[in-house]
Structure 1
């Protein structure tokens, strides 16, 4: 799910990505904003066309907003991404590559982040997303086929979906070893304490 909020029109709003896993009544929210969003100095730098330090945030949102003027459903995650762990791993991979150091309006801001993350999660290679904001502020989204130009054909795109291995076995093994370690330390503590 892709969303925007905070203004009368979606084009003036803060954009974010909402991900709801099957069966959940809440959503995970991912967005990109300045580290000091309410600072007058930050506003002055951004309005002057300069860069500020950015921050990627993630949090939980109770419920999922209804589709409408400020929220549009992009689609389901691409085939092969897996379940919750695979999706969260893909989001972590995306954020590891995102330039959070330099937020600049129009080139590396919340809209760019939301569009690219939504594309990363929902599109197969060669597809894209097109977002439109109408005169009345309504948002629409459609999937497109993007064909590379001759110049782009030789260039590796910045965000190319990579096959995500299912990390379940490694995650499960790590959880088991963590539980064993806790039990071991607990039993050590019980042996040392006087009776």
Structure 2
């Protein structure tokens, strides 16, 4: 099916200039993330995580950002899932925040590594109990016969842990993506988009900032 006719020009946003953006990419990310939250778009903290096998076969999925600071971006998942196995085989990943409502996107490339069990536990205990039970009920990425089986497993976990706190599963944990490149993309009319790339210098101490052609 030819869908080449589907086309929409971008709004006339204020130009993104070197003078207007922050010197530090995490400061710039905070500006845009706060604006994404204020826009009331659904799941502003959702991003697409791309991983690859040791042989280079890539895969993507949407996950939720739960914490970030100048050391990187943190999310949580089942550590026996496909994504976790690919991370173990190839710790170079990329992430993309597709903020369509603002005609913006942020692309991040970097190295990923597990965070401490202590930090994982603190977050796990902050989750609603039903979500804690869900972590126990689902062996993520494994083949199952039906949704009914999944619901039965969840009910089994609910009964098992009904009289106390739900413990942290040994197959569930957090990961931190430590970026070496962060690109901010702002849509503009006539496809003359604004793109700025922050990348680490060779000493991995300072951020270099470059404008990219759209």
Common fold by TM > 0.5: no
Q: If you compute each CA radius of gyration, which structure gives the higher value, 1 or 2?
A: 1
The structure that is helix-richer by fraction is 1
Q: TM-score scaled by structure 2?
A: 0.25
Structure with the larger strand share: 2
Please give the TM-score of this superposition, normalised by the length of structure 1: 0.27
